[in-house]
Amino acid sequence: MKPVPSLVAASAVVAVAFATLAPVRHGVVVEADPANPVRHVRVESRSLLGLRRPGWGVALSGAPAWGSATAGFYFTADHPVVAVVTAWPGFRQSLSMAPTPAAFAAALGEEGDREAFRTWFVALLEQQLEGPSPAWEPAQRDCAGLLRFAFREALASHTTAWRERVAFAAGPPGQDPSPRFAPDWRQGFPTPEGPQPFAKGAYLRRLSCVPLGRDLQLARPGDLIFFARGGAHAQPDHAMAFVRPDVDGAPMLLYHTGPEGSGRQPGELRRVRLDDLLHHPDPDFRPLLENPAFLGLYRWRLLAGEAPDASNPRS
């Protein structure tokens, strides 16, 4: 039986299309910088004819990662990692990577320096309730911007010129952190592009903080909680910071609401008792175990040398 010409032609077209379009050859590229704890892994795929094509079914496992098959995957290499990259058809490659000797490792300084940072960080947060500092740029007045501002200024040298620039009128809340304390953090915050003065909330959580779980009994002033609202209209991470307890010893948190409403009003700072937050009108912002939007309690990485003290949770 002779082959039907139309079927032969169709088969030829399919074969050419497959050879042109199907990504069947893959190579893994790992991008790393000694000054950056973030690794970037991407897959370069080509068809049989050598044309560059987006890979099919590209995935990375073995490390908590974010990103996409198109943009590549990012993860923090702060401990030994064995990541596995897979792609269609049957591609699999293991990547064994040692920790990056990152500039953003925890600062193993004196306890006095860590406590000085905490004291200034909380004082700067609470100062904003009296009116935003002129040094806090209006374009960055949201929840993450508040944390970046207080973090950066807590590490500054609190001279007379600094007090004028920041409009810090209160008396010194405590001693300054030593200039030798966490020098690398003065360069900025870790991001996939390296140290930057700006880092969105998700990068602060993933790269500048360490998770402490979801037990808020371990919280100390200066610690943070994060929320991530998902669904069809996913929103950026939302963060709140523990500040000084109320007069009756009740834990207090402070946060900026960020722009609000369809008119994008500038939002405001709010100081709230933890007990009241547990009954927030929006259930997504209740720090409860059963709330999937509650990501847990976090501590700044430069304070990570501290061991949580369950016997004295709010000292």
Summarised one tens digit per residue, pLDDT across range 211-237 is 999 999 999 999 999 998 764 445 668
- Peptide bond before 89: cis, by omega within 30 degrees of 0? yes
Any domain includes 156: yes
Any domain includes 310: no
Same domain, 57 and 117: no
Same domain, 234 and 146: yes
End-to-end CA distance of the chain: 89
Are 192 and 39 in contact by the 8 Å Cβ rule? The answer is no
Any domain includes 78: yes
- Side chain identity, residue 49: L
Same domain, 149 and 218: yes
Please name which of 127, 155, 157, 70 lies closest in space to residue 269, comparing C-alpha atoms.
127
Any domain includes 16: yes
Same domain, 159 and 69: no
Same domain, 59 and 14: yes
Any domain includes 311: no
Same domain, 151 and 271: yes
Same domain, 29 and 115: no
How many alpha carbons fall within 13 Å on the CB side of residue 180? 4
**Domain of 52: which CATH number?**
2.60.40
Any domain includes 232: yes
Same domain, 90 and 143: no
Host domain of residue 76 = 5-97
pLDDT (0 to 100) of residue 9: 54
DSSP alpha helix (H) spans, the chain = 5-21, 111-127, 143-154, 160-166, 201-203, 274-277
> CA–CA distance from 193 to each of 78, 197, 271 (Å)?
17, 11, 33
Same domain, 147 and 260: yes
Q: Can you tell me the distance from the alpha carbon of 145 to that of 237, in angstroms, rounded to the nearest whole number?
A: 12
Are 181 and 107 in contact by the 8 Å Cβ rule? The answer is yes
CA 60 to mean position of chain CA atoms: 19
If you count DSSP H runs as helices and E runs as strands, how many of each does the chain have, helices first? 6, 14
Residue that finishes a domain, picked among 39, 62, 97? 97
Same domain, 71 and 169: no
Any domain includes 104: no
pLDDT (0 to 100) of residue 2: 56
Residue that finishes a domain, picked among 68, 97, 126? 97
pLDDT < 50 stretches in the chain? 101-103, 231-233, 307-315
Are 61 and 87 in contact by the 8 Å Cβ rule? The answer is no
Q: Can you tell me the distance from the alpha carbon of 144 to that of 136, in angstroms, rounded to the nearest whole number?
A: 12
pLDDT (0 to 100) of residue 103: 45
pLDDT (0 to 100) of residue 4: 59
Full-model pTM? 0.71
Same domain, 172 and 287: yes
Same domain, 177 and 255: yes
Any domain includes 309: no
Q: Can you tell me the distance from the alpha carbon of 229 to that of 16, in angstroms, rounded to the nearest whole number?
A: 45
pLDDT (0 to 100) of residue 195: 87
pLDDT (0 to 100) of residue 64: 79
Q: Can you tell me the distance from the alpha carbon of 4 to that of 77, in angstroms, rounded to the nearest whole number?
A: 58
If one counts the domains in the chain, the total is 2
Q: Can you tell me the distance from the alpha carbon of 96 to that of 147, in angstroms, rounded to the nearest whole number?
A: 34
- Side chain identity, residue 248: D
